[in-house]
Amino acid sequence: MATLTGGGEPSATVKTVAAHAGVSAQTVSRVLRGTGYVSEETRAKVLAAVAAVGYRPNAVGRSLRAARTPMVGLLITDIGNPFYAALHKSVEAVFRGRGLTLMLLNSDDDRETERQQLDLLGSYRPSGLLVAPAVHSTLTTGDLAGFGAAVLVSRTLPDLAVPSVVTNEPEAMGEATRELLGAGHRRIAAVLGPEGASTTARREAGYREAMRAARAEPLVFYTDQTGPGARAALRQALHAHPGITAALGFNAPVTEGILAGLRDEGLRCPQDVSLVGFTDAPWMAFYPPPITVVRQPVEDMGRLAARLVLDLVDGKPVAPEPHVVPGTLLRRESVAAPPGPNPTEQGTV
């Protein structure tokens, strides 16, 4: 059934089908697309011919004529980050069946690669684009306007007149911070992503605001947003500030890295250091201890972003203001009171 052009027989085209059915190529096209009027008799003849000659549509010919490919790009910074893997899944689910292909592109969080990937995507004349811009991205409104239907997901870019879908990061990160403050912590390290990313800025703002309200000194650490990067950053943080009793993890890989760093230092969670993560992951629910975390509704975000692209493709207006999807604090068991004042129990190296 799915036999394609091998190296062997030349593949059938609408012309082959037309000849076989004794009709014109346009009639074949009409039957195949289901548009316009075709008599039942003709339709049956064409369908029989399609099966007989083993015709398989050529999307390239169609795209060239239509001046548009039914394909939407999803440009992200790292498919290894489960958040983006989940995002891909939920977006793809919306597009599947609507005849839109989702094309995954990785920027590796590098702005040069980002531009290359976008050029590549653009060469296919796609119908739309979903993008989480790289750090210090040089993308402009003009660049994105070229894609017709462009929507930012998760990360935004300053001064870009493009719709976006984000989590209520300042509020959610503030709540996460207050969760630790409320347990009695004062020395709370925020292990963030790359300086310059909107996600870092927004989560940092929520953290700083909560710390300021509590008159606690903010302790901010930037990372490359990966587990190994966060692991190293946490160790440095602990050495520079031995009094740290709690940490906030920027995303799932960073939260992983924090746990690895704590282990490196012989520190227990939550007895020595409490932890609240941002963005849930399956293992966090049963990790000992289960990790308290701000869950980002990634499926909702993906669905919403996909629908916005669909609306733009259909020419419907979409509000340029950020579409904010609320995160939820899941209280599990990684937050406890700070260790007692007895310095021998603090376990600093």
Partner DNA sequence: CTGAAAGCGCTTACAG
Interface residue list for its own copies (CB under 8 A): 1-7, 56-61, 63-64, 69, 79-80, 82, 85-86, 88-89, 92, 101, 103-104, 106, 115, 118-120, 122-125, 139, 142-143, 145-148, 227, 253, 256, 259-260, 263, 282-283, 285-288
CA–CA gap between residue 60 and residue 295 (Å, rounded): 41
For 153-160, the CB contacts below 8 A with 24+ separation are 153/87, 153/301, 153/302, 153/305, 154/83, 154/87, 154/199, 154/301, 155/77, 155/197, 155/198, 155/199, 156/198, 156/322, 157/133, 157/198, 158/198
146 contributes a contact to DNA by CB under 7 A: no
Binding residues for DNA restricted to 209-268, rule: CB under 7 A:
none
Number of residues that bind DNA (CB under 7 A): 32
39 vs 344 by CB, closer to DNA: 39
CA–CA gap between residue 292 and residue 157 (Å, rounded): 29
Residues 35-54: x/- map of binding to DNA (CB under 7 A)?
xxxxx-xx------------
From DNA, its own copies, none, interface partner of 24 (C-beta below 5 to 8 A by class):
DNA
From DNA, its own copies, none, interface partner of 323 (C-beta below 5 to 8 A by class):
none
71 Cβ partners below 8 Å, 6+ apart?
100, 101, 102, 103, 124, 126, 127
84 vs 147 by CB, closer to DNA: 147
The pair of structure tokens assigned to 69 is 């490919």
CA–CA gap between residue 98 and residue 93 (Å, rounded): 10
115 vs 125 by CB, closer to DNA: 125
337 contributes a contact to DNA by CB under 7 A: no
The pair of structure tokens assigned to 15 is 């012309």
32 vs 93 by CB, closer to DNA: 32
Per CB under 7 A, the list member of 32, 85, 205, 232 interacting with DNA is 32
